[in-house]
Amino acid sequence: MKIKNIKHKDINKPKNAIILAEKKADINQLPCDKVVPFMKKSFDKEKLQSIKTPKHNMYVLNVKNTDNETIRKHAYQIHKELKDKETEIHVIGIDDQKLIAFIEGIYLSDYQFLKYFSEKDKKKNKLRSIKVTGLSQKKIDELKNVIEATLWARTLVNEPVSYLDAVRLAMEIQKKRTIDGLKIKVLHKKEIENLGMGGLLAVNQGSEIPPTFTIMEWKPKNAKNQKPIVLVGKGVVYDTGGLSLKPTPHSMDLMKSDMAGAATMAATMTAVALNKLPVHIVALIPATDNRPGKNAYAPGDVIKMYDGTTVEVLNTDAEGRMILADAIAYADTYKPELIIDAATLTGAAVRAIGNKAAIVMGNAPKKYFKQLLKSGNKVHERLVEFPFWDEWKDEMKSDIADLKNIGSGNAGMITAGKFLEHFAKQPYIHIDIAGPAFLESPQDYKGKGATGFGVRLLYDFFKNI
């Protein structure tokens, strides 16, 4: 999608235009004199007005006292009306944040994952270009980078494991080396073995395809932070549950999405690097599939993790925490000021709040939570903070090892968090995105399938921290 700033005086009779109007007089800016008086008449009564003829589609959205999420949803509606026939839309606005919300709504709605259709060209939306009056090209470019990162995260998640295995995931991330200043290194099986990442290797035992551990680093000269912030993303490219096989039917249908945390963190890095945010960040992405292959790790096994902790495996389907634990412990290499992980970790998180938000918890200073929650509300990738009391830690004690990998069954999202906390030597925040990462039925501009949840959120977090 092309997005370009255009000055009001240069607007030349666009076929499709929308004005985000704060007041009646703003409608005068609509580049179609004929419809202005009519639109003005109903301005106070109707939130969204439109006049559609074969020659043009003109819209007025009353954005007075309208929150950004409502604007995104109206943009989705307009996109739905135009996507099949129109190639260009012109947006005129006064307020930056409202224009940004509207463009987000259009651009995110326009995402399609058509790779595997024989007739993909026929299915492709026609919309190619958004012209914007009222927002600087600099802000447009920044927004475009963040949205493109979000859409890339969606594509990674939508890709099935038949294409996107752990090796391919690392390769796809490595392609982003072309971004100026973004360093990317992939550790392969031999190096992972040498490091002793027992958790990642254990989960990988049942797979034909080796694991990968991808490290991304963005370290600009003008970084505000002395010590980096380390992001960790769960990259289980496919989860059968392993020997603790998931029950059928349907429980595995969406398990290609179990690497959504990895996609979110990798994409956040690209957005931050493209926009050159002055913050030093490292992302760690452990990746493997989880299968009941002939040498698969088994319930009862005791695994020695990267940091030397021993873990009794009592459910091979609690594999995400096994690979995350190694990465979280490895974060100590960087002596970070903060570790944040994102993972489609537990069904408990989905049962608790469904797909409308992610769950956040941790032991980091309150200021980080405050900013994360604020950013979440701003971009409408909302977070709900859960308690993180130490009582839950006791549930993770094993009879024969330091820890076991599964709790009693209740508050599973928190016991998982407490398990991971054990491996974090620095302030730690855990985000369970199991609910909002992937949608089984279409939800406005978030679409159907992968949502790219967390990229816009974390970008805003890093911009404001």
Q: Which residues bind Zn ion (CB under 5 A)?
A: 239, 317, 319
Judged by beta carbon, residue 108 or residue 434, the one nearer Zn ion is 434
Here the tokens at position 373 are 């929650």
Here the tokens at position 113 are 């994952």
Judged by beta carbon, residue 319 or residue 326, the one nearer Zn ion is 319
Judged by beta carbon, residue 412 or residue 447, the one nearer Zn ion is 412
Q: Smallest distance, Å, CB 241 to Zn ion?
A: 5
Helix (H, G, I), strand (E, B) or coil at 256: helix
Q: Smallest distance, Å, CB 319 to Zn ion?
A: 5
Judged by beta carbon, residue 109 or residue 204, the one nearer Zn ion is 204
Judged by beta carbon, residue 220 or residue 292, the one nearer Zn ion is 292
Helix orientation angle between 137-158 and 96-109, rounded to the nearest 10 degrees: 30
Look-up: residue for tokens 């921290």? 465
Q: Smallest distance, Å, CB 344 to Zn ion?
A: 9
**Residues near 121 by beta carbon (within 8 Å), at least 6 away in sequence:** none
210 CB neighbour count, 10 Å cutoff: 17
**Residues near 440 by beta carbon (within 8 Å), at least 6 away in sequence:** 254, 448
Using CA atoms, how far apart are residues 129 and 356, in angstroms rounded to an integer? 30
Look-up: residue for tokens 């008449």? 41
Here the tokens at position 227 are 């010590």
Q: Smallest distance, Å, CB 303 to Zn ion?
A: 15
Judged by beta carbon, residue 234 or residue 382, the one nearer Zn ion is 234
CA-nearest of 431, 391, 379, 449 to 114 is: 449
Q: Smallest distance, Å, CB 236 to Zn ion?
A: 7
Q: Smallest distance, Å, CB 195 to Zn ion?
A: 23
Position closest to Zn ion via CB: 317
For residue 14, whether the previous peptide bond is cis, meaning omega lies within 30 degrees of 0, is no
Cα–Cα distances in angstroms (integers) from residue 245 to residues 46, 242, 248, 252, 389, in the given order:
53, 5, 9, 9, 31
Evaluate whether 32 touches 164 at the Cβ level (below 8 Å). no
Judged by beta carbon, residue 252 or residue 302, the one nearer Zn ion is 252
Helix orientation angle between 412-421 and 320-330, rounded to the nearest 10 degrees: 30
Using CA atoms, how far apart are residues 225 and 227, in angstroms rounded to an integer? 6
Q: Smallest distance, Å, CB 290 to Zn ion?
A: 6
For β-strands 403-404 and 447-450, DSSP reports them as unpaired
Judged by beta carbon, residue 259 or residue 271, the one nearer Zn ion is 259
Q: For the range 82-87, what are the long-range contacts, defined as Cβ-Cβ under 8 Å and sequence gap of 24 or more?
A: 82/16, 82/57, 82/127, 83/109, 83/110, 83/125, 83/126, 83/127, 84/125, 84/126, 85/126, 86/15, 86/16, 86/57, 86/126, 86/127, 87/126, 87/127, 87/128, 87/129
Which residues does the annotation mark as catalytic?
246, 321
